[in-house]
Amino acid sequence: MSQVLDSMQAKHPSVLLVGAGRMGGALFAGWCARGLAPSVLVDPAVPTGLARAEDSAVSSLAELPADFQPDAVVLAIKPQMAEQVLPLLGPKLPASSVVLSILAALPIARLQTLLGGGNPVVRAMPNTPAAIGQGITVAFAGPGVTGDQRLLCNALLEAVGDIAWLEDEALIDPVTAVSGCGPAYVFLLAEILEQAGIERGIPPALARQLARKTISGSGALMEASREDAAALRRAVTSPKGVTERALAVLMDPLAWPASLRAAVLAAEDRARELAG
């Protein structure tokens, strides 16, 4: 990562970030922590303190510096804004810039059409734990992406967690349904556990603490363990014990197995709908 960022220092700005919301802001903070060269952020309301003194923060594409030559252009706007923003952005990009898109659902062919077709595109799907450097991002390099551009995008995405590369763009939609949406499933579990505790008489503050710490601690244990999730589950499930009784409810074929599969399929279907 440091070698890639060192090579980026020669140009100003090195990155153009379009959209500095929650995910864009998390990415930018990760880049800054690793020594990113001065960059330009485009957002109507860049969060206070996100842009450094050496960065330029502008509210619209019309305010971009006329001589900017970014190595990478990162698209972090809402997918619904793509048809409005990308046709304005495309003519401003030098041919040497690689476009890194974290827009859900929009395929590379569609992105290139909206941009005018001149720049290579890498499509990526990070998730919200990127905000604390614990994300997982899956990426696909489109036609024309060079080895150096892929390394650059890898470095930018690696700043907020792990990264895996796909050989088939069609897998981005199921990846979105599993890991892109996945944090919401975990947060929902925390909500349900907390509410169940309150309903059984546990004080609300304690119920929240128990739910949150149980989930975060279990995640940390799984991250640190060489065993797979099934083995860890079995290790905490004593034969004929209370956990086994609870899991019999959750693992009924019509309970969690069916619900989670249906949820993933619903998210994947929606991604395809949004792609048009």
Write down the pLDDT at residue 8: 42
Which band of pLDDT confidence, cut at 50, 70 and 90, is reported for residue 13? Answer: very low
244: left (phi over 0), alpha (psi -120 to 50) or beta: alpha
CA distance 46 to 58: 8
Instruction: Give me the CATH number covering residue 143.
Output: 3.40.50.720
Domain contains 165 = yes
Quick one: three-class SS letters along 127-184?
CHHHHHCCEEEEEEECCCCCHHHHHHHHHHHHCCEEEEECCCHHHHHHHHHHHHCHHH
Helix (H, G, I), strand (E, B) or coil at 121: strand
Domain contains 59 = yes
- Please give the tally of structural domains in the chain: 2
Write down the pLDDT at residue 2: 47
In terms of domains, do 11 and 38 share one?
yes
How does pLDDT run across 153-206, given as a tens digit for each residue?
A: 999 999 999 999 999 999 999 999 999 999 999 999 999 999 999 999 999 999
In terms of domains, do 153 and 196 share one?
no
Domain termination residue (choose one: 139, 172, 205): 172
CA distance 138 to 157: 9
Write down the pLDDT at residue 4: 47
In terms of domains, do 161 and 195 share one?
no
Write down the pLDDT at residue 35: 83
Write down the pLDDT at residue 158: 93
* Statement: residue 36 has pLDDT above 90: no
Instruction: Give me the CATH number covering residue 235.
Output: 1.10.3730.10
Instruction: Please give the biggest Cα pair distance in the chain.
Output: 70
Of residues 9 and 255, more confidently modeled: 255
Domain contains 177 = no
In terms of domains, do 43 and 128 share one?
yes
In terms of domains, do 84 and 217 share one?
no
Write down the pLDDT at residue 11: 37
Domain termination residue (choose one: 172, 197, 212): 172
In terms of domains, do 22 and 122 share one?
yes
Of residues 67 and 225, more confidently modeled: 225
In terms of domains, do 118 and 195 share one?
no
Omega before 13 within 30 of 0, i.e. cis:
yes
How does pLDDT run across 68-109, given as a tens digit for each residue?
A: 888 899 999 999 999 999 999 999 999 889 999 999 999 999
Question: What percent of the chain is modeled with pLDDT above 70?
Answer: 95
The average confidence (pLDDT) of the chain is 92
In terms of domains, do 118 and 73 share one?
yes
Q: Which of 3-17, 30-44, 174-188, 229-243 has the lowest mean pLDDT?
A: 3-17
Domain contains 18 = yes
In terms of domains, do 216 and 165 share one?
no
| Token representation of residue 271 | 């991604």
CA distance 127 to 179: 7
Domain contains 25 = yes
Range of the domain at 71: 2-172
Distance set, CA 90 to CA 76, 94, 112, 115, 151 (Å): 15, 9, 9, 4, 22
* Statement: residue 5 has pLDDT above 80: no
How does pLDDT run across 124-138, given as a tens digit for each residue?
A: 999 999 999 999 999
Domain termination residue (choose one: 172, 193, 222): 172
Domain contains 235 = yes
In terms of domains, do 70 and 167 share one?
yes
How does pLDDT run across 187-198, given as a tens digit for each residue?
A: 999 999 999 999
* Statement: residue 12 has pLDDT above 50: no
pTM above 0.75, yes or no: yes
Domain contains 229 = yes
Domain contains 64 = yes
In terms of domains, do 165 and 210 share one?
no
In terms of domains, do 235 and 266 share one?
yes
Of residues 114 and 4, more confidently modeled: 114
